[in-house]
Amino acid sequence: MKPLYRTDYNFPGLNKVYHGKVRDVYTVENDLLIMVASDRISAFDVVLDKGIPFKGQVLNQLASKFLDLTSDIVPNWKLASPDPNVTIGRACTPFRIEMVIRGYLTGHAWRVYKSGERVICGVTMPDGLKEHDRFPTPIITPATKADEGHDEDISREEIIAQGIVQEDIYVKLEEYTRALFQRGTEIAAENDLILVDTKYEFGMQDGKVYLIDEIHTPDSSRYFYADGYEERQAKGKQQKQLSKEFVREWLMDNDFMGKEGQVQPVMTPDFIEMVSKRYVELYEKVIGANFEPAPQENVQQRVEENVKMWMESNL
């Protein structure tokens, strides 16, 4: 079984190709995006050197499902998903920020809090909290969107002052972000999960705001198991998570945080298999249905044929 680590297609009408950390994005006729979810995995803004089988399929199918389930809140870029690893949609001009929203004091927010800081992205966090406690109200902590290297925290005031997003548009992005997070929280609760934090990306086309990229996947979101959450918090135990935080923790345990001079630890076959199973577990838990693995004999060819077949029928 060979993961889909990198693609290099030449689709009809191709204008440009962008190889991101996880996705390969093909622009066709300047107004259509073919987004291929690879099996690459990134952490600390570094792409690790081995792929995770089925990860791309999990990401794409989860995102596709949630785009459909939230299209009544905000229009999104998706037009079709002709292959388990592919979504095709509108080419929008992206805003250069990620709208990060946090319902709990976890991950990056906890690391900031533990250092003694109480303000993140211009938002004040209450005193007296411990790791994984729920915020009284979810907080929005935007980040700059970097093509390469690390994304950086940024405040609402800085975004508007720097002209990254106009104030009236930014207010709308915040409204969409809160509504999407509420919908994601409700869907997660139906499957005995807690949506802890996530990020959304938005863009513009013809003067209209669209939700773009992925939503509510393990690469963009963190989930806790709801069953036992209160008991674990009361006893000061770690929460049972469904996210890729365990990959970050494994890297940190092996002295790697993406900093200069640090060397990636070796991803053993057993570790890769474990990560793959965790992604499948998250899919099944979040969707509430069994994962159906796509044929893996020749993923490169399968993707190309399915995309070209869709293009022949729709363009």
- pLDDT tens digits, the chain, 315 residues: what are they? 789 999 999 999 999 999 999 999 999 987 999 999 999 999 988 999 999 999 999 999 999 999 999 999 999 999 999 999 999 999 999 999 999 999 999 999 999 999 999 999 999 999 999 999 999 999 999 999 866 556 799 999 999 999 999 999 999 999 999 999 999 999 999 999 999 999 999 999 999 999 999 999 888 899 999 999 999 999 999 999 887 888 989 999 999 999 999 999 999 999 999 999 989 988 999 988 999 999 888 999 999 999 999 999 998
What is the token pair recorded at 280? 């499948």
Residue 264 in any domain: the answer is no
Domain identity same for 98 and 222: yes
pLDDT tens digits, residue range 275-294? 999 899 889 999 889 999 99
What CATH number should be reported for the domain holding residue 112?
A: 3.30.470.20
Question: Hey, which bits of the chain come out as E strands?
Answer: 14-19, 23-28, 32-37, 42-43, 46-47, 78-83, 86-90, 93-94, 97-104, 119-120, 123-124, 134-140, 143-144, 193-205, 208-212, 221-225, 241-242
Domain containing residue 111? 94-242
First to last CA, the chain: 33
Task: Count Cα atoms within 13 angstroms, Cβ side, for 128.
Answer: 2
Question: Hey, which bits of 20-122 come out as E strands?
Answer: 23-28, 32-37, 42-43, 46-47, 78-83, 86-90, 93-94, 97-104, 119-120
Domain identity same for 80 and 141: no
Residue 265 in any domain: the answer is no
Domain-terminating residue out of 242, 258, 278: 242
- Report how far residue 107's alpha carbon sits from residue 109's, in angstroms, rounded to the nearest whole number: 6
What CATH number should be reported for the domain holding residue 49?
A: 3.30.200.20
What is the token pair recorded at 161? 């002052």
User: Residue 81: phi, psi to the nearest 5?
Assistant: -130, 85
- What is the total count of domains within the chain? 2
For β-strands 42-43 and 123-124, DSSP reports them as: unpaired
Residue 280 in any domain: the answer is yes
From the list 72, 69, 82, 138, the residue with the least C-alpha distance to 106 is 138
Domain-terminating residue out of 242, 259, 290: 242
Give the global pTM: 0.90
Domain-terminating residue out of 242, 262, 283: 242
Domain identity same for 81 and 108: no
